[in-house]
Structure 1
Amino acid sequence: MPKMIFVNLPVTDLQKAMAFYQAIGFENNPQFTDDTAACMVWSEAIFVMLLTHDKWRTFTKRPIPPATSSEVLLAISFDDIASVDTILDAAAAFDGTPDINAKQDYGWMYSRSFADPDGHVWECMWMDMAAASEQEVIS
C-alpha cells in the first residue's frame, strides 16, 4: 500500500463544505461518505475527510479552533502558475477567502493561499524544481 495522507477537517455545514471542495477540484469518494463525514480526494495519495463537529468530537476532545485562527497551513502543489490562480478563483466563487496570506512570487516559486468557508487555510504553490535547487534558502 502506498503512503497516503488523510487530512481531517471539522466543518459546520457538511453539504456546503463538500460543494466547496468539489468546486476547487476535489472528487468525492462515496464509499467513505455519509451524513457525518465526506471523503474528498485530491490525488491517489491525498484525501481530505470533512467531518461534522459531532463526528470530529469522536476523534478528539480538544476544542475546535474558531474560523479566525490557524492551527495548520495545508500546502498543495500545482503544475503551473495558471492552475494556482484558477483554484483561487474557484475558492473565491464558492465562499472561500482568497489571498488570506500575501501572494509570493519569486520567479522560480509562486504561491497563493485561501481559507475555505470554515477558515481552514490552504497554500497553493508552483515551483520550478530545477531553478529552486539553485536558490538560497528563503527566510
Structure 2
Amino acid sequence: MFRRMAISAVVALVVAGGVIAYVWWQDARFTECQRRATTLGAVSLLMEQPNGVQPDTPYSGCDVDRLVAYAGRQYQGEASEQAIVSFYQQIAERDAWLVTPSGAGVAKLCARKDVGSGTVYMNLSFPLPGTFDLHIADSPDSGAHC
C-alpha cells in the first residue's frame, strides 16, 4: 500500500513539474515574441507615408498560436494605389529591403530584409477603397500573403 502511494506521489510530482516547465517555457517564448513585435513596430518604413494619406494607430503583437511577431499601420486618404505602391517601393529599396514579386496574394508590394534576429517580411495591401495596410512580420506567411 505504502509503495503504491509513493509511486503515485512521484508520478504526480513529475507530471506537475513537467506542466510547470512547459508553462514557463511557453511564457518565455511569448515574451520573446512580444519583444520582437515591439522592435518591428519601430521599423522606419512604418514611420513614413506618402502625401495625401493619414496614418491610423499603429498595431503590433504576437500570434500566440505560431509565435509570429508582427507590426503595422493602416492609412487612409486620397492618394492613388499606384502612387502608394511606388512610394513604398522607393522607401523599401532605399532602406535595403529586397522587393519581391507580390504573387497571387492580395498584397500589392512585398519585400524582405535580413536583420540581426533573422528575416522580416513586409507586405502592402489595400483592404478597402481609400485604405491601405503596411504590415511587417517575422514570418513570410503573415498578413496579406505575398
Fold shared, TM-score > 0.5 on shorter chain: no
TM-score relative to the length of structure 1: 0.36
Which one has a bigger Cα radius of gyration? Answer: 2
Larger helix share, 1 or 2: 2
